[in-house]
């Protein structure tokens, strides 16, 4: 019997999950994505900044039983933007999705994002659309996010509903042209 490796299969979607000390949430996130994306040829690339809580070890353990899951462990390299870029470089998919591994974003929007990506090179999982929801944020956290969004839009000189979103879908061509600005743990698309 011959088993085909994921290297020879066509991958439609690469999901990049940058992590740092998220050992509790990563297995849940991976399970949610597996359930959500049944029927989609995808890979999960966890880019870990050498977590001290065992995150990368947990991902490595899970990946031994699931060839769709890959680990990029970054030792002595830190930063969200560079982690995302390394994930892009490792990705094999035609479309690239970046998501936070801590389930702060409603991952159930991914199928809608995939549909929207048929007509757009960049799809933002915005927190500021009518159908979006933000829960558990204090009023000061909401204000900070709104002002941060306005500032980010002024930097990139484009009107984007949520340029600080942690949930983004790019075509691989758009990702090749992407420039990412890191602002102390947050990034601007």
**What's the pLDDT at 55?**
97
> pTM of whole model > 0.95?
no
**What's the pLDDT at 174?**
61
**What's the pLDDT at 188?**
45
- Output the CA angle 68-74-75, nearest 5 degrees: 145
Looking at the chain, the whole-number percentage of residues with pLDDT higher than 70 is: 66
Q: pLDDT class for 187, splitting at 50, 70, 90?
A: very low
């Amino acid at each position: 019997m011959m088993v085909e490796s994921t290297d020879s299969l066509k991958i439609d979607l690469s999901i990049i999950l940058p992590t740092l000390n998220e050992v509790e949430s990563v297995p849940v996130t991976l399970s949610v994505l597996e359930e959500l994306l049944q029927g989609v040829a995808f890979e999960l690339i966890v880019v870990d900044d050498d977590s001290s809580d065992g995150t990368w070890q947990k991902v490595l353990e899970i990946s031994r039983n699931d060839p769709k899951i890959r680990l990029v462990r970054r030792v002595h390299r830190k930063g969200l933007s560079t982690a995302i870029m390394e994930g892009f470089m490792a990705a094999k998919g035609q479309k690239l999705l970046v998501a936070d591994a801590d389930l702060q974003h409603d991952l159930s929007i991914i199928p809608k994002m995939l549909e929207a990506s048929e007509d757009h090179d960049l799809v933002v999982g915005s927190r500021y659309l009518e159908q979006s929801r933000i829960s558990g944020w204090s009023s000061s956290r909401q204000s900070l996010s709104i002002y941060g969004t306005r500032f980010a839009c002024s930097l990139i000189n484009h009107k984007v509903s949520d340029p600080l979103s942690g949930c983004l879908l790019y075509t691989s061509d758009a990702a090749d042209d992407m420039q990412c600005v890191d602002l102390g743990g947050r990034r601007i698309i």
